[in-house]
Structure 1
Amino acid sequence: MGLSWYQYASRLPLAMNLGKVRTATAPLPAQDQKTVEQIKQETHAHNRDNIDRTRAYLSFYQKHPQVHWALLAHLVSRNAGWSMTDLRGELLPRLLRTKEQQDYFSFLERGNWLIFHDAYPQLLLYEESVRRQTNLFYLLPHLGVSTFMQAIWNHFWKTTDKELLAIALIINEQNYLEEQLMKDSSYQNSVVRTIPFALQELLQLNLILFPQRKVVDEQGSFLQLVGERVFHFASLPERIRLGKRLYSLLFGGANRQEAAYAWAMEQPHTGSRKDYWPHLFHDVNDTVPGKSYQVKLMNCQLRQGAKRLFSPTLRQVWRPIHHEPPKALDWYKNKGDVWHVLTRMEETAFAAEMNEVYCQALAKIEWAVAARTRLLG
């Protein structure tokens, strides 16, 4: 998915125009004000929790598959939901104190909420522009969206450059997250700098998984997991590189997005890992309370007589929470030129088989839980 000379040259006008965009100053005409308010209301309605956000991304992609980022956001948001329910599932509550579970959930939920709060109005404004067949992106500043993305959407409206739009949204959302979440001292102290946060990286528990429905023949199909490990999440450049690799993984090869989309359409998002591996996970807790933990898995299969790992649905264990409005700022005004980041693709991501990697991660955490149980009696 590297740039050809033609593609690079075609994007030069965009680089020169990044600084020539409007800001929200004069009052809007009545129709424009109504459009802005409707978009804000619809965004708020779908930003209730991870389930609603994840569903909204997929619904948008169904209608506008040319906006690749929406499918990527849907799949990454599923992973955020799985991470949230892991905090109340079979294993992590045996390693983390209740306050740590709550702090981690607040961190994941705030990030998920912030990205939707910023990105979904952009998607809705594009949808409205398509419906009216006119460019409405001058309204982006009135929705709190960066000047960077105004230039990008104007470019996309003229060129339908799907790849550049996706990469730009990755850059935008990660810079937005950096300013709104990662620099927040409360999350720095409660999550980012904590030993459990580092432990997850050491044990390689941070995996982003894309289930894909692979058709074997007319008789059947199987589910394959592809994805990426997450390292150094606290680093903005690394998060952007990860986003690019995930985009390349999803859209860089024949039929990958079709296979992921097929699975997403057939399996509603619940937050439970039962969604993709019901042979190992169950949203009902079958473990007898009070007993010391016994390792359940061997070679990614249940041991004889073992019950499935408890993986609750999101709404079983987490209620919607109220979010404070984000800070009023434009990250791009403080960043200068991001042209080199925008046009440089990362190394091509191969469709890495993650079934075995994820099995190994599960085994590591199971043994960590079992060891802790023995130490604590």
Structure 2
Amino acid sequence: MFFLKKKKTTQPLSENMLEVKEALKRMEQSVSLSEELSLSKQDQQLLQYIRRQTYQLNRDNVTRTKAYLDFYCLYPEVHWAFLGHMVSRNGGWNMTDLRGDFFSRILNEEKRQVFFTFLERGNWLIFQDAYPQFLLFAESERQKRNLFYLLPYLNISLFMEVIWNQYWRKRDRYLLAIALIINEQSYLEQRIIQNSLFKEKVFHTLEFVLQDVLSVNHILFPYEGERESEGKASLVGLTLHHFGSLHERIMLGKRLYRLLFQDENQLKKVFRWAVDHPHTGSRKDYWKDVFNDVDEGVPGTRFTRRLKGCQLRNGAIRLYSPRLEYAWKNVEHPEAELGDWFHHWNVIDYLQDENESIHGEIIDEYCETIEKLELAALAKKAIFH
């Protein structure tokens, strides 16, 4: 069991949240689940379909990222699907960075493999937890009846069963989105953050500290701007410095949600960019003037500085950022670990809306990070303390 950092509530609970609180308090008691074979034939077939579809679309970061966007296009009221799509894009970029110009020089092959496994496992786990919920919601909409009693058979947290039941009645899009943020980050806590292998091989390594110092954990939201015709999308985003903190990850998720959905015009720009630029895993997707998915370098030549202020120096070749399909082979994952993270209703404190305005200026910070990584790659060692 783990505990969230206590978050102070800033306002009384709304009637909607009071209903959630009472339902969660009831769920804290042990809930018995009948055997799946006792369900109707129709329900059994639906569960089999959901598992099969989720498995097929969870093949790699590209397929799962596309699945999020496809679902959002059909059900735009499920805001998390688009947030999940954009964050999953960033996960793919982080995966291919490990084969790109910088980290292929900073990290040895063993460390790159471990870091990829860490990123891929987390990305896979979230999809196999979130996507079945989406498919069950879609089928509930189609049949025009609540099917969320089937969530426990898909190993979904009791917390989300309460939330989906509430959403079915009240259609509170904000509540659903933030609940999904809480759920997915809590779901990862024991399976990734507290995993002994990742603790030893990832979190306790100098390279992970280097990542944190260099602010590599940028979450970028590209959108169509003034230089789109030149192959350079505009960017907004935020940075996570304490990946190991569940509290910080939830709060970042809430800020990312607000950044994406607080301005309808900005949301349309990000969405239009996402639809017009299918995810490949290469950073060329958003800055093809700086990155290329083909290595333009000549084998054996010395690595030299190419960037100045997020622009290529005169005569410099673009940075190598491969497509995911050429960077990493698909992974056959072991079954997700069983167990429900939900233990106490006070997690609903995170459902409160802080109503803060998020600006998301990130270009200068991101450009500084790229240049620092370039220097680290040139030195072939961590030179920042």
In structure 2, the CA distance between the partners of 1:138 and 1:237, relative to structure 1 (3 Å rule), is: same
Aligned partners of 2:99 and 2:324: how far apart in 1?
9
Whichever residue aligns with residue 209 of structure 2, its letter is: A
Q: What SS does the aligned partner of 1:232 have?
A: coil
Paired with 1:6 and 1:329, the residues of 2 have a C-alpha distance of 31
| Cα distance in structure 1, aligned partners of 2:115 and 2:354 | 29
Taking the TM superposition and a 5 Å limit, the aligned residue runs for 1:302-321 are 302-321=312-331
In the TM superposition, 1:139-178 aligns within 5 A as 139-178=150-189
C-alpha displacement of 1:221: 11
Matched AA of 2:26: K
Residues 230 and 289 of structure 2 are in contact (CA less than 8 Å); yes or no, is this contact kept in structure 1? no
2:97 counterpart of 1:86: yes
Superposition deviation, residue 298 in structure 1:
1.2
Q: Secondary structure at the match of 1:19?
A: helix
Aligned match of 2:25: 19
Q: Which of 15, 21, 30 is matched with 1:9 structurally? A: 15
5+ unaligned residues in a row in structure 1: which ranges? none
Alpha-carbon contact 2:231-2:287 (below 8 Å) kept: no
- In structure 2, the CA distance between the partners of 1:239 and 1:204, relative to structure 1 (3 Å rule), is same
Query: For 1:313-352, what aligned pairs fall within 5 Å after superposition?
Result: 313-333=323-343, 335-343=344-352, 345-346=353-354, 348-352=356-360
Question: What is the aligned partner in structure 2 of residue 367 from structure 1?
Answer: 375
1:224 corresponds in structure 2 to 234
Which among 50, 55, 58 is matched to residue 47 of structure 1?
58
Match of residue 272, structure 2, among 253, 256, 262: 262
Letter of the structure 2 residue corresponding to residue 18 of structure 1: L
Partner of 1:34: 45
Question: Structure 1 residues 347, 189: CA separation in 2 closer, same or farther (over 3 Å shift)?
Answer: farther
Q: CA 1:93/1:215 → structure 2, altered by over 3 Å: closer, same or farther?
A: closer
RMSD: 2.4
**Retained in 1: the 8 A contact 2:220–2:238?**
yes
Q: Secondary structure at the match of 1:338?
A: helix
Secondary structure, aligned partner of 2:238: strand
What SS does the aligned partner of 1:337 have? helix
Q: Offset at 1:347?
A: 6.3
1:59/1:101 Cα in 2 relative to 1: closer, same or farther (>3 Å)?
same
The residue that corresponds to 1:235 in the other structure is 245
Structure 2 residue ranges without an equivalent (≥5): 1-8
1:277 paired residue number: 287
Mapped contact 1:246–1:349 kept (Cα < 8 A): no
2:214 and 2:372 in contact (8 A); partners too:
yes
Query: 1:344-365 CA distances to partner (integer Å, 9 max, x unpaired)?
Result: x356242323222211110111
Whether the 8 Å contact between 1:191 and 1:197 is mirrored in structure 2 is: yes
Indicate the SS of the match to 1:332.
coil
Which amino acid is the alignment partner of residue 263 of structure 2? Answer: G
C-alpha distance in 2, partners of 1:193/1:336? 32
Q: Which amino acid aligns with 2:257?
A: Y
Is contact 1:215-1:221 (8 Å) kept?
A: no
Q: In the alignment, which residue of structure 2 is the partner of 1:202?
A: 213
Contact 2:232–2:286 (CA<8 Å) still a contact in 1? no
DSSP-derived class of the 1:348 partner:
coil
CA pair 200-208 structure 1, distance change in 2 beyond 3 A: same
1:104 is aligned to 2:79? no
- State whether structure 2 residue 64 is matched by structure 1 residue 58: no
Displacement over 4 Å in runs of 4+? 3-7, 219-222
- Residue 346 of structure 2 aligns to a residue whose secondary structure is coil
- Checking the alignment, whether the CA contact within 8 Å between 1:204 and 1:229 is kept in structure 2 is yes
Secondary structure of residue in 2 paired with 1:208: strand
* Alpha-carbon distance in structure 2 between the residues aligned to 1:10 and 1:278: 46
Amino acid at match of 1:130: E
TM-score w.r.t. length of structure 1:
0.93
Matched, 1:125 2:131: no
| Most deviating of 8-17 and 57-66 | 8-17
Please give the per-residue CA displacement for 1:283-323, whole angstroms capped at 9, x wherever unaligned. Answer: 01011222332000112211111100000000011011111
CA separation in 2, counterparts of 1:224 and 1:93? 27
Greater shift in the superposed pair: 219-228 or 21-30: 219-228
Deviation at 1:152, TM superposition (A): 0.1
Contact 2:219–2:239 (CA under 8 A) maintained in structure 1 = yes
Counterpart in the other structure of 2:296 = 286
Partners in 1 of 2:85 and 2:361 — Cα distance?
Answer: 20
CA contact (8 A) 1:213 1:223 kept: yes
Q: Which string of whole-angstrom CA distances, capped at 9 and with x for unpartnered residues, describes residues 310-339 of structure 1?
A: 000000110111111111111103x45312
Amino acid across the alignment from 1:66: E
